[in-house]
Amino acid sequence: MINTKDLHTSEILKEYVKQEEAVQETASSTSSETATKALPKQSQAMNYEEVKTGNYASLNGTWQNGEGRKIVIRDQTMQFSDILDHKGTATVIGQEIDIPGLDGQDGRPQDVPYLGGTTTKAYEQQLKSGEKDGVFTLGSTIPSAVLTISFLPKGTMGDLTDGDVNQDKIISVGTQDSATLVDAAAVYYKVN
Q: What's the confidence (pLDDT) of residue 42?
A: 46
Q: What is the pLDDT of residues 81-90, one digit of tens each?
A: 998 776 689 9
Among 7-16, 76-85, 112-121, 148-157, where is mean pLDDT lowest? 7-16
Query: Which of 166, 167, 190, 170 has the alpha carbon at shortest distance from 180?
Result: 170
Q: What is the pLDDT of residues 50-85, one digit of tens each?
A: 999 999 999 999 999 999 999 999 999 999 999 877
Q: What is the pLDDT of residues 117-131, one digit of tens each?
A: 999 999 999 999 999
CA distances from 49 to 13, 93, 136, 167 (A): 26, 17, 10, 17
Beta-carbon neighbour count of residue 39 at 10 Å?
18
End-to-end, the C-alpha distance of the chain in Å comes to 18
Q: SS3 for 91?
A: strand
Are 174 and 181 in contact, with CB atoms under 8 Å apart?
no
In sequence order, the 6+-apart residues with CB closer than 8 A to the CB of 8 are: none
- The Cα–Cα gap between 107 and 98 comes to 9
What's the rounded mean pLDDT across residues 110-117? Answer: 93
- The Cα–Cα gap between 122 and 109 comes to 6
Domain ranges of the chain: 43-190
State the pLDDT confidence band at 179, using cuts at 50, 70 and 90.
confident
User: Looking at the predicted structure, is the pLDDT value of residue 1 above 80?
Assistant: no
Among 6-10, 49-53, 165-169, 170-174, where is mean pLDDT lowest? 6-10
What's the rounded mean pLDDT across residues 24-42? Answer: 36
State the pLDDT confidence band at 18, using cuts at 50, 70 and 90.
low
Among 26-35, 57-66, 127-136, where is mean pLDDT lowest? 26-35
